Amino acid sequence: MSDRTGIEWTEATWNPLRGCSRVSEGCRHCYAEGIAARFSGPGQPYEGLARLATRPDGKSEARWTGKVVLAPASVLQQPLRWGRPRLIFVNSMSDLFHEAVPDDWIDQVFAVMAAATCHTFQILTKRPERMRSYISSPETVDRVLMRARELDPTLWYLDWPMRNVWLGTSIEDQPTAETRLPYLRRTPAAVRFVSAEPLLGQVDLFAALGISVHHHPHNRQSAALNALVIGAAGRALQESGGSGIHQIIVGGESGRNARAMHPAWARLLRQQCSAAGIPFFFKQWGEWADADAFGDAAARPLNFADAGHLAERLGVPFEHHSDGSTLIRVGKRKAGRLLDGVLHDAMPALFNPQSAPHERIWA
């Protein structure tokens, strides 16, 4: 939990739960798993929740144990003591909808958010199927309201879905996008957002939303054709009622064993978001960056030899791909968060209570 954070798309973090387990390839180098393992000794906050395991190659690796615990009341109720309004990322060190979390714990977290109406909360999960089931259940609202009134007896109704709670899901490639996005789109929420981080493969957003778009091999002529096709698909999507998604965050992987994010993957999502009217937020390149951003502008795009010379001069590894793009490992700080020289930090429009129906739940 921190009143400050280096996560670019939020202002603070709050961890009412501790512990998790891996669910897909995006979890392989989870920063939270490593932090938890370092503080998993006797008497420490993550005792019994993570451990250092030995891999077949003899190297050690942090692993969750699968156990999840509810944080102490002082942590659980921390947002109630923050006076200045904040944008708060919920559970940067866990997953609120983990299968080991009882509904009662989730109720308590939502009750705090219901009582702390000056803040806006961002919930991100890799388990959107459970999130949808929880949010859509009429029994959930009654339980949350009862818990919230324990914190603030003046509360006598809840707007549901809660207006100060954003719900999101994480994806990393096409299979996870096609599996998770349908659940997110069917989840009642004031704001629905997607975190494509770490982005480990190309994601065709339109295909994941059930819209068929034929992409051509990359060259100048097909790029122009793709732009026309994507633009037409985006307009059709908006005319049919929109995607139901209010923000997409894209980022590459960071850390010692980070995998590279291909520039074309980020550009496709940016292009599709623009066509569909979805705010696009480019969080970071991660450890790897587009080599063209570090080379001689007159030599772009870099060929294999140019990329090798650049990597040798910088003293860093590089990857050269068949489409002509080259990635070099320069570290997260040097890689930065500019995509084609542009900062993309669009956030969801402020929620207008008249823009979507809300059910008022009476005590």
Give the up-direction half-sphere exposure of residue 350: CA atoms within 13 A in the CB hemisphere.
0
Distance CA 187, CA 160 (A): 12
- What is the pLDDT at residue 287? 95
**DSSP-assigned letter for residue 245:** -
Distance CA 180, CA 194 (A): 10
Q: Do 199 and 250 contact (CB within 8 A), yes or no?
A: yes
- What is the pLDDT at residue 218? 56
- What is the pLDDT at residue 359? 40
At 138 the three-state DSSP class reads helix
Which string of DSSP letters, residue by residue, matches 157-224? EEEES-TTEEEEEEE-SHHHHHHHHHHHHTS--SEEEEEE-S--S---HHHHTT---PPPPSSHHHHH
Give the helix, strand, coil percentages of the chain, each rounded to 5: 35, 20, 45
- What is the pLDDT at residue 353? 38
- What is the pLDDT at residue 196? 98
Q: Do 245 and 184 contact (CB within 8 A), yes or no?
A: yes
**Residue found by looking up tokens 């990322």 in the block:** 89
How do the pLDDT tens digits run along the chain, 363 residues long?
556 788 999 999 999 999 999 999 999 999 999 999 999 999 999 999 999 887 777 788 899 999 999 999 999 999 999 999 999 999 999 999 999 999 999 999 999 999 999 999 999 999 999 999 999 999 999 999 999 999 999 999 999 999 999 999 999 999 999 999 999 999 999 999 999 999 999 999 999 998 876 665 555 445 655 778 888 888 888 877 788 999 999 999 999 899 999 999 999 999 999 999 999 999 999 999 998 887 554 445 566 666 666 767 777 788 877 777 889 999 999 999 999 999 999 999 764 433 343 343 433
Return the H-helix or E-strand segment holding 291. Answer: none
Distance CA 109, CA 96 (A): 9
- What is the pLDDT at residue 361? 40
Greatest alpha-carbon pair distance for the chain in Å reads 70
